């Protein structure tokens, strides 16, 4: 009885250890400094399949926040804050553009410190991967 219990216990421990090793090999987590990013793609081409334009630019200014309708049908209207920023295009890294400036739409209000924490700021140099919208 003791041998059977030890055998089962060892099987559970070894099996759990092997499963953890397999899971860790399948995890595509990239750690950089104190930030951790979990990639759901196996390659760069797959990650960028819908990107239409990549630019390097300089932020000229940030516009006034406005409400945008999400276009989701339901019992209540759903809208969210959008803060536009004007970006001077310094260099096109991918795609084609026929203007020297773009309007970059950022989610969140510039008056909310938590929402605007990741907004671009006037004078910053940025690299943006973009998808064109009607706006």
pLDDT tens readout for residues 75-120:
777 888 989 999 999 999 999 999 999 999 998 888 888 888 889 9
* Burial of 115: CB neighbours in 10 Å, binned 0-12, 13-18, 19+: middle
Question: What is the spatial distance between Cα 107 and Cα 67, in angstroms, rounded to a whole number?
Answer: 10
Q: In the prediction, which pLDDT does 21 show?
A: 42
pTM (global) more than 0.75:
no
What's 74's DSSP letter?
Answer: S
């Amino acid at each position: 009885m003791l041998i059977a219990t030890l055998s089962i216990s060892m099987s559970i421990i070894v099996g759990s250890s092997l499963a953890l090793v397999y899971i860790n090999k399948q995890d595509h987590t990239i750690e950089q400094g104190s930030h951790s990013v979990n990639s759901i793609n196996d390659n760069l081409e797959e990650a960028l399949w819908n990107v239409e334009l990549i630019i390097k630019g300089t932020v000229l200014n940030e516009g006034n926040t406005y409400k945008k309708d999400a276009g989701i049908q339901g019992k209540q209207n759903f809208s969210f804050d959008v803060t536009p920023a004007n970006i001077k295009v310094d260099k096109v890294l991918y795609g084609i553009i026929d203007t020297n400036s773009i309007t970059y739409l950022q989610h969140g209000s510039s008056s909310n410190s938590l929402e605007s924490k990741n907004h671009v700021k006037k004078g910053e140099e940025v690299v943006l991967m973009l998808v064109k919208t009607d706006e």
